[in-house]
Amino acid sequence: MNFFEVIRFSLRGLSANKLRSALTMLGILIGVAAVILLVAVGNGSAKAISDRIEALGTNTITVMSTGRGGSSSTSLTKDMADALVDEQMAPDVKSVSPVVSSSSATMTYEGTDHSVATFVGTTPAWFTASTTPVERGSAFTDDDVAQGRRVVVIGKTVAEELFPGVDPIGKQVTVGGALFTIVGVLADKSSTGFDDANDRAVAPLTAVQQVLTGYGALTSIIVEAADPDRVDAVQGQVATILNQKLDVDPSSTSTPYRIQNASSLLETQSQTAATFTTLLGAVAAISLLVGGIGITNIMLVTVTERTREIGIRKALGAPRRVILTQFLIEASLLSVLGGALGVAAALIGSQFSIVGVKPVIVPSSIGYAVGVSIAIGLFFGGLPAARAARLRPIDALRYE
Amino acid sequence: MSRPVLEVTDLKKIYGQGEATVHALRGVSLTVERGDYVAIMGSSGSGKSTLMNILGALDTPSSGRYLLDGVDVSRLSDGQLALARNRLIGFIFQAFNLIPRTSAVANVELPLAYAGVKPKERRRRAMAALDVVGLADRAGHEPNQLSGGQQQRVAVARALVTEPALLLADEPTGNLDSKSTDDVLQVFDDLSAAGRTIVIITHEKEVGDRAKRLIRLVDGGIVTDARQSPLHLPPVGAARVAHGRAMVAGRHTR
């Protein structure tokens, strides 16, 4: 009685009741697929969020004013931005980019209008600090900023809107009544939230202040740390300098500015996402457990129903081991096949985006889900089978 | 004379406890020599089925000794018992006990499968055994597609197929029509003529008359034990052996 023979017996046992076998497998299939897919969705959404945050730049902090309106005592100024470049007090600061932005600028080229979502005025350091590299052409220079030259780098969306099929570099556009020369196009950038990150234009700070925003407060200051590990240190240094500049009482809990730290934001977000993933996984694990109970139930029914058959087999000289193996293989075939189909279903399902999230499969979840389903099948299938195989043949034969 | 195939001494079987105690066997002693053809007759409740189950190693006695082919069955391990049931005993049940949803030939093959016979050889021997009981043309049918008589003949084929030293039949003809009964009994006669040891339970006088030895069981004890024909000669029924049957029986000779 070799092993293949026992497998053949098991297959015959399973195929004798096809519908029941199929339904049991379906239970495991759904359980396994749910675990893998839901964990993948959780993981995918966590990844999407962290990608977006990383796109903001993880080694930068953004200083924003909390003051409403233009009260000069609380607003951020170019002077403050310059003060942040200080070897002594802020040794970990790599660059400081003062930013003014306008959301109501209209760019016109040969009669075509485009309302630019964000028109940014800043310094060249902004391009690296905000991880927004220039794809074609070039960025403007410090000299351009110093001279207030009207040059502009536009985003992908702006380029497509105003210059369909035409190379925009060197063209002149009208913004707020002034002529700007396009010197570059920004690389494609993944969007944060609902805003189109490609619908923007970047020009020297001085030019934008002159033409659009005036010489008032800055919208924000982007400070780039020398090293991603030093972001927190930079945050402290920046806070110290700003407190001096703005005459903030050190004991005061509220400051007229707000510091946004992308890496701490990322940390918080990934913690939230991990909780979310665990929650989804737990829900799915319950469905896997239900699938496992399905196998247990079916194996109990199968063994009970076939106790007579076990008696006949024993009377014909089947050793206990062979009978036990047959039922164990039946149980594990159900769980292995169900599990494999579940993995296949999950892999197919992960090709589609679910509720706007592209699932990212976690390999360990596959092992976990399949392992649990097999363990359940073997244990709870084996238990009643072992009991039946131990019966004396006559007791098994008399079993009703 | 070689050692007996079967030797039981003071076999007792008690079911239940206290007031509800039932003495199914009250000290049965019996020796069956190799080549004997024994019919055990008795009314319902006389303990003949209990005796049969113990002889078939399906049940264990409450007390007493059972030597099968010289080996004390009570000392065999579970694995050795399985081997004994497979190699030494062919059991035919009153209730057929075929495995449902499994074809006749697969049912007959089953003991050979447990004996480790190769699939090809298994199929050949199973078909030959089915031919003996006249069901070769129904090999692919499942038990629920066969009549009661046909099912019992499949069960007989299954008991024959391992060519066991001892054939135990528990009222094998109880559910058969007269034609099938005759066929099955003929097979038993042929096997007996070929030197096989057979113990058969029946309450039909016709069946008992064909055996070489007739034992009557009443209330769990042997009341009569009569030899009807000599041990070393073929049974009376074998006189009617057809030529084809003799060929089949010859194949079973060791």
Q: What is the SS3 string spanning B166-190? A: EEEEECCCCCCCHHHHHHHHHHHHH
The pTM for the full model equals 0.65
Instruction: Name every chain B residue with its beta carbon within 8 A of the beta carbon of A20.
Output: none
> B15 and B22 in contact (C-beta within 8 Å)?
yes
Residue A193 pLDDT: 55
Radius of gyration of chain A (CA): 33
- Check if A317 contacts B (Cβ < 8 Å): yes
Residue A327, both tokens: 């039922």
Nearest CA in chain B to A389: B78
CB pairs under 8 A between A and B: 74
Residue B21, both tokens: 């105690």
Q: Tokens 């049969």 — which residue?
A: B52
- The whole-angstrom separation of Cα A381 and Cα A17 is 16
Nearest CA in chain B to A393: B58
- The whole-angstrom separation of Cα B1 and Cα B199 is 19
> A118 and A208 in contact (C-beta within 8 Å)?
no
The alpha-carbon gap from B107 to the nearest alpha carbon of chain A, in Å, equals 10
* Nearest CA-CA partner of A102 in A190, A207, A187: A207
- The whole-angstrom separation of Cα B159 and Cα B85 is 11
Distances (CA, A) of A200 to A126, A133, A214: 14, 13, 19
Instruction: Name every chain B residue with its beta carbon within 8 A of the beta carbon of A318.
Output: 82, 86, 114
Structure confidence by residue, pLDDT tens digits, B207-221: 888 889 999 999 889
Residue among A5, A314, A394 whose CB faces B113 most closely:
A5
Instruction: Name every chain B residue with its beta carbon within 8 A of the beta carbon of A314.
Output: 58, 82, 85
- The whole-angstrom separation of Cα A268 and Cα A274 is 10
* Portion of chain B with pLDDT greater than 70, in percent: 92
> Residue B71 phi/psi, 5° resolution?
-105, 135
Residue A269, both tokens: 């977000």
Nearest CA in chain B to A396: B58
Across the interface, do A313 and B53 touch by the CB < 8 Å criterion?
A: no
The alpha-carbon gap from B158 to the nearest alpha carbon of chain A, in Å, equals 9
Across the interface, do B97 and A312 touch by the CB < 8 Å criterion?
A: yes
- The whole-angstrom separation of Cα A152 and Cα A184 is 7
The alpha-carbon gap from B162 to the nearest alpha carbon of chain A, in Å, equals 10
For the cut 70, the answer to whether the pLDDT of residue B222 exceeds it is: yes
Structure confidence by residue, pLDDT tens digits, B164-189: 889 999 888 877 778 878 877 887 88
Residue B38 pLDDT: 93
- The whole-angstrom separation of Cα B100 and Cα B38 is 31
- Which residues, numbered 3 to 22 in chain A, qualify as contacts with chain B under a Cβ-Cβ cut-off of 8 Å? 5, 9, 12, 16
> A245 and A218 in contact (C-beta within 8 Å)?
no
The alpha-carbon gap from A327 to the nearest alpha carbon of chain B, in Å, equals 15
For the cut 50, the answer to whether the pLDDT of residue B253 exceeds it is: no
* Nearest CA-CA partner of A126 in A50, A66, A180, A205: A205
The alpha-carbon gap from A316 to the nearest alpha carbon of chain B, in Å, equals 5
Residue A1 pLDDT: 60
Band of pLDDT at residue B241, cut at 50, 70 and 90: very low
> B11 and B61 in contact (C-beta within 8 Å)?
yes
- Check if B101 contacts A (Cβ < 8 Å): yes
Instruction: Name every chain A residue with its beta carbon within 8 A of the beta carbon of B87.
Output: 317
* Portion of chain A with pLDDT greater than 70, in percent: 94
Residue B160, both tokens: 């024959």
* Nearest CA-CA partner of A95 in A104, A82, A106: A82
> A96 and A85 in contact (C-beta within 8 Å)?
yes
Residue B250 pLDDT: 43
> B16 and B23 in contact (C-beta within 8 Å)?
no
Task: Give me the interface pTM, i.e. the ipTM.
Answer: 0.86
> B96 and B153 in contact (C-beta within 8 Å)?
no
- Check if B87 contacts A (Cβ < 8 Å): yes
Band of pLDDT at residue A251, cut at 50, 70 and 90: low
* Nearest CA-CA partner of B58 in A315, A350, A389: A315
- The whole-angstrom separation of Cα B213 and Cα A168 is 115
Residue B158 pLDDT: 93
Across the interface, do B114 and A312 touch by the CB < 8 Å criterion?
A: no
Structure confidence by residue, pLDDT tens digits, A283-325: 888 888 887 787 778 778 878 888 888 889 989 988 888 888 8
- The whole-angstrom separation of Cα B222 and Cα A161 is 110
The angle subtended at Cα B12 by Cα B9 and Cα B16, nearest 5°, is 170
In this prediction, residues B91-120 reach a mean pLDDT of: 89
3-state secondary structure chain A: CCHHHHHHHHHHHHHCCHHHHHHHHHHHHHHHHHHHHHHHHHHHHHHHHHHHHHHHCCCEEEEEECCCCCCCCCCCCHHHHHHHCCCCCCCCEEEEEEEEEECCEEEEECCEEEEECEEEEECCHHHHHCCCCEEEECCCCHHHHHHCCCEEEECHHHHHHHCCCCCCCCCEEEECCEEEEEEEEECCCCCCCCCCCCCEEEEEHHHHHHHHHCCCCCCEEEEEECCHHHHHHHHHHHHHHHHHHCCCCCCCCCCCEEEEEHHHHHHHHHHHHHHHHHHHHHHHHHHHHHHHHHHHHHHHHHHHHCHHHHHHHHHCCCCHHHHHHHHHHHHHHHHHHHHHHHHHHHHHHCCCCECCECCCCCHHHHHHHHHHHHHHHHHHHHHHHHHHHHCCHHHHHHCC
Q: Tokens 């950038």 — which residue?
A: A189
* Most confident of the following: A148-152, A196-200, A352-356, B243-247: A148-152
Mean pLDDT for all residues in chain A: 82
- The whole-angstrom separation of Cα B168 and Cα B173 is 13
- The whole-angstrom separation of Cα B198 and Cα B89 is 10
Residue B248 pLDDT: 47
Strand partners, A101: A120
- The whole-angstrom separation of Cα B157 and Cα B142 is 15
- Check if A397 contacts B (Cβ < 8 Å): yes
Residue B112 pLDDT: 92
* Portion of chain A with pLDDT greater than 90, in percent: 3
- Cα torsion B160, A394, B101, B84: sign: negative
Distances (CA, A) of A15 to A114, A302, A322, B142: 68, 13, 19, 14
Band of pLDDT at residue B251, cut at 50, 70 and 90: very low
Across the interface, do A319 and B113 touch by the CB < 8 Å criterion?
A: no
> A136 and A178 in contact (C-beta within 8 Å)?
no
- Check if B76 contacts A (Cβ < 8 Å): no
Instruction: Name every chain B residue with its beta carbon within 8 A of the beta carbon of A397.
Output: 58, 93, 97
Torsion angle, alpha carbons of A54, A56, A58, A63, to 10: -150
> A242 and A63 in contact (C-beta within 8 Å)?
yes
Range from A42-51, A53-62, A206-215, A390-399 carrying the lowest mean pLDDT:
A53-62
Residue type, B91: F
Torsion angle, alpha carbons of B210, B216, B220, B223, to 10: -150
Residue among B86, B98, B102 whose CB faces A317 most closely:
B86
Instruction: Name every chain A residue with its beta carbon within 8 A of the beta carbon of B97.
Output: 308, 311-312, 315, 397
For the cut 70, the answer to whether the pLDDT of residue A212 exceeds it is: yes
Structure confidence by residue, pLDDT tens digits, A134-145: 888 888 888 888
Residue A194 pLDDT: 58
In this prediction, residues B16-43 reach a mean pLDDT of: 89
* Nearest CA-CA partner of A368 in A343, A334, A332: A343
Instruction: Name every chain A residue with its beta carbon within 8 A of the beta carbon of B78.
Output: 319-320
> B147 and B35 in contact (C-beta within 8 Å)?
no
Across the interface, do B98 and A319 touch by the CB < 8 Å criterion?
A: no
Instruction: Name every chain A residue with its beta carbon within 8 A of the beta carbon of B84.
Output: 317
Across the interface, do B87 and A321 touch by the CB < 8 Å criterion?
A: no
Residue type, A134: V
Residue B228 pLDDT: 87
Instruction: Name every chain B residue with its beta carbon within 8 A of the beta carbon of A317.
Output: 82-87, 111, 114-115, 162
Count of C-beta atoms within a 10 Å radius of residue B206: 12
